[in-house]
Structure 1
């Protein structure tokens, strides 16, 4: 299917048949007498000279459009004035116009981090300074830090060629060479998951930085990409052990798993040390064990939550050891993984 533009009509002169009448029209009687054309009057509009109609020039800067018009003009000359553009070339032209329109939309849309200078967010910096000073309880400072992080932006590192498992399709490129390097995904946070770090306890965490300087102190061969904290939390949830390590190499601060999970879900983080729902469920499960007479909770220092257990020691050390083992069995249930990061059991004599 193609679009045709016929050539201009031939001029009508005295004693000559008009174009498309008589012998050139299928079904006409060639023996029938032809009426003589009347001579033109002074008021008639002059007719165009015979020959191909020139094609309009291409739009400047559109290579695909120029190729289509060039091919169409050449076809017009060969066909005696019929300008035909095959569908394949019309499709190329439409794709080029759509791609140009998309690029214009992308360039005109504002980016959320266009003015980012790479420095740490002031609220995050203040929360980290307070955490370093240690003048307040650590668990309260962690909550303050989480709130500052959730309202700011973070920086994730991306290698030059991330995701080694994802490569371009095999086959030569327009330049004649097959690409051998891996490609990025459309999500810089997912690319950062390839740089996940192993913590001392064996867990895998996503490296997240508060500033470009902190990232370069860790590795100088990566490039910084600012992202929204929730997006980085979603990637940590999907591709690591649901953990962040903040400023690895200089600070190595592990953000508790429930804090990352809450951030990924767009929810407020309610730490286990002040969550009545978590504490009530733990109390119900632990109090039912033989030898446990009371359960209490407190914020941990090295851990997230400290559980204080009153254990009946009248049956001897063996019975106390069995009671503590039963308590640990309750706590290793994977269902607690997204609610409590780390737990410290503190047995107290009844």
Structure 2
């Protein structure tokens, strides 16, 4: 789970053309009207909390319903992300001194303050963009940040533009839901998202990729250990974790020694890394080895 309020520099990742085009059209990190944060002051109209009419700042009802279903065991991660597709969220922006002026008495005063997005650094070093389902949750997390309301899809675009691979909903609250990279990209494209561990097309693709490895008798995709999240009250929720989200079970023939298994797994990973579908739909994975049934 993200733990520090500092920007970082994750390894460069080639963005799919549809994401790059969406970013170009959206103008990068911007408010709900598409106006960039850079160069804006905290005065006048720029200081408005958001541009949504009649918004009371409370959490989206659809999102709350989806999260409640997930926690009760009747919902799913996909259901939560689907609810986010039409939800308004708040992203935090803070004032950063852009120019300093000296007064007649030799004192320094703020002459201009720019607006900047707040990012987090996850435990694995990746950058995450925090977003909040309510203005109150954002204020409790960072009292000095300005909540700016945007649709979650635009927040996802801003995350991509900031080099963030994760969108983190309500950090520090009773329940934090992490939107991993494939789901964030799906939100940005306004496409339906299917978790990698439930993706039949991905399973078929990985099966085809393993056809050149005779020792592999079968492949199964399951939820990884990182799918689950722990709420503030200690309960384990079957979704919203930071990953790894995919467990690939390899059913292998008998007779392979340790060196042979290592070579096989390395070859498969190299094959998968060249697969476009795998790159788009898998955030992180773990591999489990089992003996093929007789």
TM-score scaled to structure 2, two decimals? 0.66
Q: Which residue number corresponds to residue 52 of structure 2?
A: 113
Q: Deviations over 1:327-348 (max 9, x none)?
A: 3333445843432112221211
Q: Deviations over 1:8-47 (max 9, x none)?
A: xxxxxxxxxxxxxxxxxxxxxxxxxxxxxxxxxxxxxxxx
Q: What value does the CA root-mean-square deviation take over the aligned residues?
A: 2.9
Q: Deviations over 1:24-78 (max 9, x none)?
A: xxxxxxxxxxxxxxxxxxxxxxxxxxxxxxxxxxxxxxxxxxxxxxxxxxxxxxx
Residues 179 and 169 from structure 1, CA distance in 2 versus in 1: closer, same or farther, beyond 3 angstroms?
A: closer
Q: Which residue number corresponds to residue 88 of structure 2?
A: 153
CA deviation after TM superposition for structure 1 residue 168, in Å: 6.3
1:224 aligns with 2:147: yes
CA deviation after TM superposition for structure 1 residue 178, in Å: 9.2
Residues 178 and 202 from structure 1, CA distance in 2 versus in 1: closer, same or farther, beyond 3 angstroms?
A: closer
Q: 1:238 & 1:334 partners in 2: Cα distance?
A: 24
**Comparing both structures, which one devotes a greater share of its residues to helix?**
1
CA deviation after TM superposition for structure 1 residue 249, in Å: 1.4
Q: 1:179 & 1:209 partners in 2: Cα distance?
A: 29
1:233 aligns with 2:175: no
Answer yes or no: is the 8 Å Cα contact 2:89–2:149 preserved in 1.
yes
1:313 aligns with 2:237: no
Higher mean C-alpha displacement, 240-249 vs 198-207: 240-249
Q: Which residue number corresponds to residue 348 of structure 1?
A: 290
Q: Which residue number corresponds to residue 7 of structure 2?
A: none
RCO higher in 1 or 2 (8 Å CA, sep ≥ 6)? 2
Q: Deviations over 1:112-132 (max 9, x none)?
A: 612111111111112222333
Q: Which residue number corresponds to residue 130 of structure 2?
A: 207
Residue in structure 2 matching 1:280, options 204, 209, 234: 204
Unaligned runs of 5+ in 2: 1-44, 102-107, 227-243
Please identify the structure whose Cα radius of gyration is greater: 1
Q: Which residue number corresponds to residue 253 of structure 1?
A: 177
Answer yes or no: is the 8 Å Cα contact 1:312–1:320 preserved in 2.
no
Answer yes or no: is the 8 Å Cα contact 2:100–2:111 preserved in 1.
no
Residues 311 and 126 from structure 1, CA distance in 2 versus in 1: closer, same or farther, beyond 3 angstroms?
A: same
CA deviation after TM superposition for structure 1 residue 318, in Å: 2.3
Q: Which residue number corresponds to residue 268 of structure 1?
A: 192
Answer yes or no: is the 8 Å Cα contact 2:182–2:283 preserved in 1.
yes
CA deviation after TM superposition for structure 1 residue 290, in Å: 5.1
CA deviation after TM superposition for structure 1 residue 324, in Å: 2.1
Residues 280 and 143 from structure 1, CA distance in 2 versus in 1: closer, same or farther, beyond 3 angstroms?
A: same
Spell out the pairing of 1:1-350 with structure 2 (5 A cutoff).
113-133=52-72, 135-136=73-74, 141-159=76-94, 161-162=95-96, 167=98, 180-184=111-115, 191-192=116-117, 195-250=118-173, 251-289=175-213, 291-302=215-226, 303-333=244-274, 335=276, 336-350=278-292
Unaligned runs of 5+ in 1: 1-105, 171-176, 185-190
Q: Deviations over 1:77-118 (max 9, x none)?
A: xxxxxxxxxxxxxxxxxxxxxxxxxxxxx9xxxx86121111
Q: 2:282 & 2:219 partners in 1: Cα distance?
A: 16
Answer yes or no: is the 8 Å Cα contact 1:290–1:323 preserved in 2.
no
CA deviation after TM superposition for structure 1 residue 286, in Å: 2.3
Answer yes or no: is the 8 Å Cα contact 1:206–1:240 preserved in 2.
no
Question: Secondary structure of 1:345's partner?
Answer: strand
Q: 2:185 & 2:56 partners in 1: Cα distance?
A: 28
CA deviation after TM superposition for structure 1 residue 180, in Å: 4.2
Answer yes or no: is the 8 Å Cα contact 2:156–2:184 preserved in 1.
yes
Q: 1:280 & 1:155 partners in 2: Cα distance?
A: 38
Paired residues in the alignment total 221
CA deviation after TM superposition for structure 1 residue 196, in Å: 0.7
